[in-house]
Amino acid sequence: MSRAAVIEPVLLVHGGAGVRRQDIDAGSEDEIRGALAQALRQGHALLQAGHGALDAVTAAVVVLEDSPHFNAGRGAVFTHDGRNEMDAAVMDGATLRAGAVANLEHVRNPVLLARAVMEHSPHVMLAGAGAETFAREHGIALADPDYFRTELRWRQWQEALRREASGSNEDTPGGDRFGTVGAVALDVHGHLAAATSTGGMTGKRWNRIGDSAVIGAGTYADSHCAVSGTGWGEFYIRTAAAHAICMRVAHMRQSVHDAAERVIRGEIPELGGSGGAIALAADGTFAMPFNTAGMFRGRMGADGVPHVAIWKDEP
């Protein structure tokens, strides 16, 4: 590869939309920013070493799954029945291979299982007990339910039950419908990848599955674009949001900024939904739109510095 053809790797991450200033204290905010920065460093180091985009997004999401501050992995929210049910997906833009898992209760890092499904099974999506059997067969680490219990998520669950019992429609701190982690990356070979992981909605019932594990809804990557979404999953499924952004980039020749803005700040809120996304194009341009008060997000590129933001008034 000539010097003129060298591609600068780029990594974007998110830790969920829907956050409000009154929902987090200064100490938690510092820890959240630190976790986002660590995810960026971990994934970008792999890109700098010549690893593929899929390795980078997987590594970044593992860092966020291991943090109790995000609704994924260790910090997953509680279902209506007081359990944790987690979903995740990965997609390799160069090959259109994908792996997804849903309704996991014991898998420590759902994103690792999603990648194993992609690489070691003939299927795209596995769910529930079967997915966890597959995890055991392929050496994916499991954890007892206590591992996923945090005081914050416990309080949010109790508040959701209280509101349900009282018939209240008042908002819940942190939001019932929000909270996901994800990453998209461009590697030195020009390949893109996306990964997303979530604990879903607080108080969800009936083994509800959101958009994160649905390829094309909350997670998508091809040779033109990579997207990871975060928000009210039903609307991301109905609009095939991640795929819609990439199709606008590939076939309508829109910039990734315009494409993401139209879907995230146009189509989804027009239907009554809300949330955000991170989107990355093959030329290294990117967008991080959201239509909520804040979104945990960050990027790392040629300068080798993690740039992290939460609120609308931050660059």
Whole-angstrom distance, CA of residue 291 vs CA of residue 98: 28
DSSP state of 171: P
Q: Which residues contact 107 (CB under 8 A, 6 or more apart)?
A: 86, 101, 113, 131, 132, 135, 140, 141, 142, 143
Task: Put residue 190 in one of left, alpha, beta given phi > 0 → left and psi -120 to 50 → alpha.
Answer: left
Which amino acid is residue 170, in one-letter code? E
DSSP 178-196: ---EEEEEE-TTS-EEEEE
DSSP state of 76: P
Pairing of the two strands 286-287 and 219-221 = unpaired
Q: Give the Cβ contact number of residue 27 at 10 Å.
A: 8
**Do the beta carbons of residue 212 and residue 203 sit within 8 Å?**
no
DSSP state of 109: -
Measured CA to CA in angstroms, residue 212 lies from 159, 160, 200, 208 at distances of 25, 22, 8, 12
Catalytic residue among 58, 180, 196, 202: 180
Whole-angstrom distance, CA of residue 183 vs CA of residue 227: 8
Tokens of 54: 């899929």
Active-site residue flag, 180: yes
Whole-angstrom distance, CA of residue 279 vs CA of residue 241: 11
Whole-angstrom distance, CA of residue 143 vs CA of residue 215: 26
Question: Residues with catalytic annotation?
Answer: 180
